[in-house]
A = this chain, B = another copy of it.
Amino acid sequence: MTEGVEWAVHCCVVLSQAVEPVSAAQLAELHGVSKTYLAKHLQQLSRAGLVRSTRGRVGGYELTRAAAKVSLLDIVEAVDGPEPAFRCTEIRQRGPLATPPEKCLKPCGVARAMGAAEQAWRRSLASVSVDDLAGSVVRDNGAGTFDALRGWLAPG
């Protein structure tokens, strides 16, 4: 899985606690990562419709909907792409004992098993929202964590 997924998720958690748009530069400094590369992933989130970007002097990124309505799966699909990790190449239709195409209407057993596993993975990711993650941060680090964050984000 792409490392940018981790960055994007943490950024979404931060955005869920911000009251104003947060610039890519702030998010990059806050997490100690490359600004330009993080911007690339934020663009992917923007294309997917998860965040809204505003340009100009006080521009930045903000969530387009409530944090409880943004799931981990949304972010992973936005950054890593929607195509599944396992792609069946239909090798059953190759070689001397190839299965005839008219018998390949449904995916083969291997593809079905892989698809079921990936479905379980997606269901687990879909059950966790950005708001849930923010709650876990509060439980782990204390209620004042996001107050300090908002103080750091405030201009000046």
Contacts and interface: CB of A to CB of B under 8 A. Distances in A.
Interface string A53-93: 00000000000000000001000000000000111110110
Q: How large is the interface on A (under 10, 10 to 19, 20 to 34, 35 or more residues)?
A: 35 or more
B95 A31 contact: yes
A141 B97 CA distance: 12
Nearest to A136: B109
B6 A88 contact: yes
A113 B125 contact: yes
A120 B123 contact: yes
Contact of A95 (B29, B96, B98): B29
Contact of A1 (B85, B96, B106, B132): B85
Chain A, interface SS category: helix
The 10 closest A-B pairs by CB, nearest first: A109-B136, A32-B94, A117-B124, A121-B121, A32-B95, A1-B85, A120-B120, A120-B124, A113-B128, A117-B125
Interface of A: 1, 3, 5-7, 9-10, 13, 29-33, 72, 85-89, 91-92, 94-99, 103, 106, 108-110, 112-114, 116-125, 128, 132-133, 136-137, 140-141, 148-149, 152
Given A3-B87, A120-B121, 4 more contacts: A32-B95, A108-B137, A110-B133, A120-B124
16 contacts: A5-B86, A6-B89, A6-B91, A7-B91, A9-B110, A10-B110, A30-B96, A31-B95, A32-B91, A32-B95, A33-B94, A96-B152, A103-B141, A118-B121, A119-B124, A120-B120
